[in-house]
A and B are shown apart, each in its own frame.
Chain A
Amino acid sequence: MTEATIDTFVEQATDPVVITGFVQILTATVLAAIVLGVVYARELDFEREVLTTSGRGLVQVVAAGAVIGVLLAAHLAWATVVLAFMICVAGWISHKRGDAIPGVFRTSVLSIGFGAGLVIVMMTVAGAIETTMRDLIVIGSMIIANAMKTNSLVLDRFTGELAANRPEIEAMLSVGGSPDRAINQYVSTSVYASIIPILDSIKSLGIVQIPGLMAGMIIAGANPIYAAQYQFVIMLMIFAAGGLTVVVNTMLISRRVFTDAKQLDDSVLDAIET
């Protein structure tokens, strides 16, 4: 680590705005604690997940903020390394929603890499993402994170559909259906369910929500119409990355739940049910 890098880090870490940030986190934590109290009172039994996830998220995001500050001063080539690392971590986090499926970590990394990677490359070529560390890391991470969320949703729904519809799937196999045909409608349902959040976000753009990026651009003095246009571009990028991710991943995983003899794989279904 060079002396300049250390100076950059120290300068950012001691900025008074960082203290203000921690006060804001405390305020938001109080609000989240109210939700936790309700969860606990109603015995919904996911307070531990909320707590650990929030704690982990805080540490990660603050660390990321510090790292990004340092990275912004680094050579552009590092952007590829950082984005590839993010894709691997996203695949790791996401694959747990479907870890009953053999090889799902690999398929998740491949799918997020393909979906998010393709969108980042194409939009960089098109000029929507500037070839700067700042744009590539900040916008790239946004696209990867959303592709990860979509991937998690599709894995969760797909395994749920398999467990809930085993008799129907086997009825289709029993009349000579191929594995692909037998689970086709459940794959479609899962893909659609996974993109509902982003579709709803696009639907509500400007009416229910002023998304963060657009708000930030307006606060920073950008033309509000251009800020809105750019936000829309970002939303479409997120949609495209998520859509490509889940289409590729369901294509890859749907083969893995069947045996070579075109039977539903018992070991996969048993793992889903447990």
Chain B
Amino acid sequence: MVPKLEAESLTRVVDGDRIVDAVSLRVPTSDVVAIIGPSGSGKSSFLRLLNRLDEPTDGTVFLDGTDYREIDPQELRRRIGLIPQDAALSRGTVAENVALGARVRDEPVDEERVAALLERMGLEGYEDRAVDDLSGGERQRVSIARTLYVDPEVLLLDEPTAHLDTTTEAQIEDLLAELIREDDLTCVLVTHDTAQAKRLGDRIVEFVDGRVAAEGTPADVIG
């Protein structure tokens, strides 16, 4: 069976360093693959290659069996959504940020969808708030809603709780677990937190020096 997402010998060389070194990975539909590893092991760099925010030096990615170089990058990035480590919100209101996917394409904003997403994120009634007034946890919730607004087929999560305090981290993780379960999402999660990887991941991949060092079920890799 063709996996939803498949990386084939994906490599990225920067200034002579192989920061991602011939990584192959299969992500079946509805699976959550959690990538763990020490800082600088190439986890986030690998994630950026999956939605082509960076260009692989070698190798490629297949989405539903199609080489992603055959898909227009704008279309590809809507199909493979990325939730970045830093919420990276634009100046403006919460609603404007959630509907960014419509605004950047000059499409009409689906206000009901914005409201529904904000409700799911626990931010009901936040539409007109300025993003500058939000806490770190609220900003990350808006970032998640912004990515979900375009209804991606695959969700890439780059350390989504990295900059949050313990309580907020737990809340965001619970929210993600609920979204993954309810929407049957196909995800690739990068995290430095092995416990989080174990809680959210169906499979774990461990990176060391840009290469896959271990791969298997959470019990196999983490124990």
- List the interface of chain A (C-beta within 8 A of B): 167-168, 170-178, 181-182, 185, 259, 261-263, 266
What is the distance, in angstroms, from B8's C-beta to the closest C-beta of chain A?
17
Residue in B53, B74, B88 whose beta carbon sits within 8 Å of that of A176 in the complex: B74
Q: Report the contact-size class of chain B (Cβ under 8 Å from the partner).
A: 20 to 34
- Residues in A neighbouring B100, C-beta threshold 8 A: 171-172, 175, 177
Chain A, interface SS category: helix
Q: What residues of chain B lie closer than 8 Å to A176, measured between beta carbons? A: 74-75, 77-78, 101, 104-105, 150
B81 to A167, Cβ gap below 8 A?
no
- Tell which of A172, A175, A177, A266 touches B54, judged by Cβ atoms closer than 8 Å: A266
Alpha-carbon separation in the docked complex, A261 to B101 (Å) = 19
* Contact A262:B74 (CB < 8 A) given known A171-B90, A178-B104: yes
B88 touches A175 (CB 8 A): no
Q: Assess whether B104 is in contact with A182, with CB atoms less than 8 Å apart.
A: yes
Measured CB to CB, the closest approach of chain A to B108, in angstroms, equals 15
Q: Is B146 an interface residue (CB 8 A)?
A: yes
Please tell me if the beta carbons of A174 and B82 are within 8 angstroms of each other in the complex.
Answer: yes
Question: A263 touching B146 by the CB < 8 A rule?
Answer: no
Within 8 A of A (CB), among B128-181: 143, 146-147, 149-150
Q: With an 8 A cutoff between CB atoms, is B209 at the interface?
A: no
- Determine how close the nearest CB of chain A comes to the CB of B148; give it in whole angstroms: 10
Closest partner residue, chain B, to A262 (CB atom)? B73
Q: A168-B89, A171-B100, A177-B74 are in contact. List 17 more A-B contacts (CB 8 A).
A: A167-B84, A167-B88, A168-B88, A171-B90, A172-B100, A173-B74, A174-B77, A174-B84, A175-B77, A175-B78, A175-B146, A175-B147, A175-B149, A176-B74, A259-B55, A261-B52, A263-B52
Q: Which 8 A-B pairs have the closest CB atoms?
A: A177-B104, A167-B88, A175-B101, A176-B78, A171-B88, A262-B73, A174-B82, A181-B104
Q: CA separation between A174 and B156, bound complex, in Å? A: 11
